[in-house]
Every structure is written in C-alpha cells, then in structure tokens.
Structure 1
Amino acid sequence: RERARERERESARESERARAPESERESARERERARERARARESARERESARERARARERERESARERARARESARKRERARERERERESERECERESKRESKRERESESERERESERESARKRERARARERERARASERARKSERERARESERESAQERERESARERESARERESARERESARERER
C-alpha cells in the first residue's frame, strides 16, 4: 500500500512538473525534495519508533516468558516438595507399620511366655498335688501298717492271755486231781 501511494504521489508530481514553467518546476522539485527528505526523516523516525515498540514488546514477551518460567519452576519445586512429603509420609507409615508389627510380635512373644509360665505353674501345682497325694497315701499305708501291727500285738497278747488261762486251768485241774487222790489215799 505504501508503494502504491508513493507511485500515486510520483505520478501527481510528474503531472505538476509537466504543467509548470521550468523555474517553477525547479522550485517545485526543491520543495518536493525537501518534503521527500522530511518524509524520509519521519519515516525513519516511525521505523525507529516501530523498532523500539517491537523491542519493548519483545522485552515484555521475554519478561512474560521469564515470569512463566519462574511460575513453572515454582510449580515444579512445589510438586517436588509435595512428592517428597508424600514419600516421607509413606516412609513414616512404613516405619509405624514396622513398629506396630514389632510391638505385636513382642506382645505375642510375651503372651507365649506367660502361657508357658502358666503351664509351668500348672505342672508344678499338679506335681505338688501328686506329691501331696503320695505323702497322704504313704501316711495312710503307714497308719494301716501300724494298725495291723497293733492288731497283731493285741492278738498276740490275747493269745498269750488265753494260753495263760489254759495253763492256769490245767494247773487247777491237776491240783484238784492231786487233792482228790490225796483224799482217796486218806480214806
């Protein structure tokens, strides 16, 4: 579009030069050259301004990209921290699970030991009862033997008394016979 406008202006200048006398055409050419220089300066200023605006936009885009990179880096760091927190939480859960398993094993071992101690106490009580029964049985046997010996002694004494009575009775009978014989002789 700028080139088309330039061509149109050039065509208009050519038409104006064709109509004007030479001196006027020279003056017109000078004025035109001045306008051209002014337009060139303006165009240069506009291009420089456009370049500056482009550089400003590029700086802004770069700043925006930098901010975006900073936000992304912050998000990455936060995600990394969150993953680390999750891993630490998992590790803590694992440690707690191990501690709980250890407590359960210790508790189970203690229950087993207590059960074994209780079994030992029961066995000891059973042995004590067995020893007491054995002692009671032995006492009963001793008492029975003592009663048997006592009964035997009493029986022996009774037999001895019976034998003494029989001997006494035999002596009395013998004495009676002797008296009877003496009386018989006496008669």
Structure 2
Amino acid sequence: KRRIRRRKRRKKRKKKKDERKKQERNKKEEIRAKKERKKKERKKKEKRKKEEEERKKKRKRREEEKEERKKERKRKRKKERKKERKKERKKERKKEE
C-alpha cells in the first residue's frame, strides 16, 4: 500500500513538473513568435517607406522633365519668332529698296 501511495505521489509530482515545463515552453514560444511578428512588421513598414520614397522621387523626376520640355518648347517658339521677324524685316528692306 505504501509503495502504491508513493508511486501516486511521484506520478503527481512528475505530472506537475511536466505541466510547468510545458507552460515554460509555451511562454518561450509565445515570446519568440511575438518578436518574429514585430520584426516582420518593422520590415513591412520599412519596405512601405522605401516604396513611398521611390514614388516621390519618380514623381519629382517626371515633374522636372515636364518643366524641361515646357522650357524647351518655349525656347524653340522664341527662336522661330525671331527667325520670322528677321525674314519680315528683310522683306521690308527689299520693298523699301
């Protein structure tokens, strides 16, 4: 009988010990998972930020190119007008002569 009781007690103690180990393992696993989630979230945030920066740069570049084309057109028009005026003056001179 005594042996049986001892065995029961040992079993109970072992069960409690195993339960504690299991809880400890679960706790560690939870902490690890949480860290992993945070890391992933941080990476996502950084990626989003990088993409946003890229979009801004592209937009800026497009705007600058647009402005440059506008200026170029303006220059060409000015040049054309100057040529036209020169031709007109030449014609005027010829008429006067």
Asked whether 1:119 is paired with 2:13, we answer no
Shift of 1:93: 3.5
Deviations, residues 127-180 of structure 1 (Å, cap 9, x unaligned): 111111111111111111011001101111111111111111122112212222
Structure 2: unaligned runs, 5 residues or longer: none
Structure 1: unaligned runs, 5 residues or longer: 1-85
Amino acid in the other structure paired with 2:78: A
Work out which structure has the larger RCO, using CA pairs closer than 8 Å and 6 or more positions apart in sequence: 1
Asked whether 1:110 is paired with 2:33, we answer no
Q: Hey, what's the Cα distance between the residues in 1 that align with 2:85 and 2:6? A: 115
Shift of 1:122: 1.7
Give the greater-gyration-radius structure (CA). 1
Amino acid in the other structure paired with 2:7: C
CA-based RMSD of the aligned residues comes to 1.7
Asked whether 1:145 is paired with 2:68, we answer no
Name the TM-score, length of structure 1 as normaliser. Answer: 0.47
- Detail structure 1 runs of 4+ shifted over 3 Å in the superposition: 89-93
Name the TM-score, length of structure 2 as normaliser. Answer: 0.85
Q: Secondary structure at the match of 2:90?
A: helix
Percent identical pairs in the alignment equals 28
Amino acid in the other structure paired with 1:101: K
Shift of 1:95: 2.6
